A and B are shown apart, each in its own frame.
Chain A
């Protein structure tokens, strides 16, 4: 048998052969387009004419213009708030399902938690507008209960509304990894902690939380990175001061016809969220080692 025939029949070859269509697809539709976007960000566009000379002009503009700085800073801030709120909302729920719900009913609970995610994406955001609006559900209820005399106006068309709406959209994605991490905790570890003298709170802080951290870190990354790319939520519930960098990216690619600047903005945003995520993961590295 020649070396090649032998290789062709090997497990190595079978694996590569099987995975190759999917891999090629990802390369063609993800890696190549991303490379193209990188190239584009170093070019310039004048109406429909593309000038392919290398320039840093787009990046300089993206990083120095006050409007982009403001949008970028606000987007990062909103994403960070959304992530924090999501994790805070999700953790007790994941904990409840993992520790209080009987084993047999856990899949049902997880299913229940993912259901709202499948409400039409646009409708869901729009309905938050109805809930938070001047004549909305929240104001209506508060007025009805006599808790307020005037409808609250600070709950819609601003950054708070964006944070609440996005947190609602992402909370199932945060619950799942935290739930999985909690499920993996060997219950005898908790009994051991108790046996060794820890009360419920100390046991939680010293054993449960550290062991759940891989789930929390995963949830953070899963929520933080994609959140920066949402332009629908800020548009619908954000008002003029709630717009995010993605609205600008969309504008540059569509109406403003300045794709190179849009590309530079998109890549800068990606770069920033990736760096922040990596730092976050790095800070939590001690919780991630020794885990399968």
Chain B
């Protein structure tokens, strides 16, 4: 079919557009030139060595990891509660409550950053890594709720009833039946929120105190042309890390779908 050919061509061009930055990242990370532009000069691992020797970067990485892990745990916990409530119980105002919890998905991040900044300053608290966690948990929770809701909805309610009927307590049922079956969703939720938090800049920039996160550090370095090639190397590492985490999350999500006997329907979002 002729129209099919044009269609495929468009898709190919679109994919090039979509992947252009991601593909350039490693190209410049290994390019033996201190200027990030074409033409390419030669192959080097030097920029990765530079990363290894930059103390400030290590600090920022540690901060970001701390924030990302905390965010993943807290937002997944909040997500489990809300997802369980929305998928298993019917209560008045449920739609409004769930809608409200999901709002950060469509709220400009600058609004989240600004409003938390205002409150923290007004209450007289100091900005720190924990203030960033507050903001990140807020924007990650809707993602967790979405992932976990589908995990809980895929879980046939009569499985829990069957366990209870067969003589187990409610608590034992939760650990023996519910948890094993939604665990992949929980893992997937943690990985996604970890990844979002690790990369988040806008909110972190408003709420960071004296200790920068990784993106805040990168932002500071973007002004210095001589730092750019090593940033490309850093970006490459981050990309590989994100992809590994996402592939893992996707793997767990699908396993969850398979375990609960549901045909796989699509991506995370």
- Asked if A and B touch directly (CB within 8 angstroms), the answer is yes
Chain A residues in contact with chain B, CB under 8 A? 11-16, 18-23, 25-26, 29-34, 36-37, 40, 89, 92-93, 96, 100, 106-107, 110-116, 118-124, 126-128, 130-131, 133, 135-137, 140, 168, 171, 173, 176, 179-180, 183, 221-222, 225-232, 236, 246, 249-250, 253, 259, 262-263, 266, 269-270, 273
**Given A119-B22, A140-B38, 10 further pairs, Cβ under 8 A:** A12-B89, A22-B101, A23-B97, A25-B78, A116-B19, A127-B24, A128-B21, A225-B106, A249-B110, A273-B108
- Asked if B90 and A25 sit within 8 Å, CB to CB, the answer is no
Known contacts A120-B215, A120-B218; A127/B78 CB under 8 A: no
The residue in chain B whose Cβ has the minimal distance to the Cβ of A225 is B106
- Does B219 touch A at the CB level, under 8 Å? yes
Look across to chain B and name the residue whose beta carbon is closest to the beta carbon of A200.
B3
Please measure, in the bound complex, the distance between the C-alpha atom of A81 and the C-alpha atom of B81, giving whole angstroms. Answer: 39
Rounded to whole Å, the gap between the CB of B77 and the closest CB of chain A is 8
- Report the separation of the CA atoms of residues A135 and B89 in the bound assembly, to the nearest whole angstrom: 59
Which residues of B are interface residues toward A (Cβ below 8 A)?
Answer: 4, 7, 10-11, 14-15, 17-22, 24-25, 28, 36-39, 78-79, 81-82, 84-86, 88-92, 94, 97-98, 100-101, 103-112, 114-119, 121-122, 134-135, 137-138, 141, 145, 195, 199-202, 206, 215, 218-219, 222, 228, 231-232, 235, 238-239, 242-243, 246, 250, 254, 264-269
Known contacts A33-B115, A131-B24, A253-B206, A93 near B11 by CB under 8 Å: yes
Assess whether B110 is in contact with A122, with CB atoms less than 8 Å apart. Answer: no
Q: Which 6 A-B pairs have the closest CB atoms?
A: A229-B108, A15-B89, A15-B91, A33-B115, A19-B85, A18-B85
Residue numbers in B under 8 Å from A115 (CB-CB): 19, 22, 243, 246
Contact in complex: B243, A22 (CB < 8 Å): no
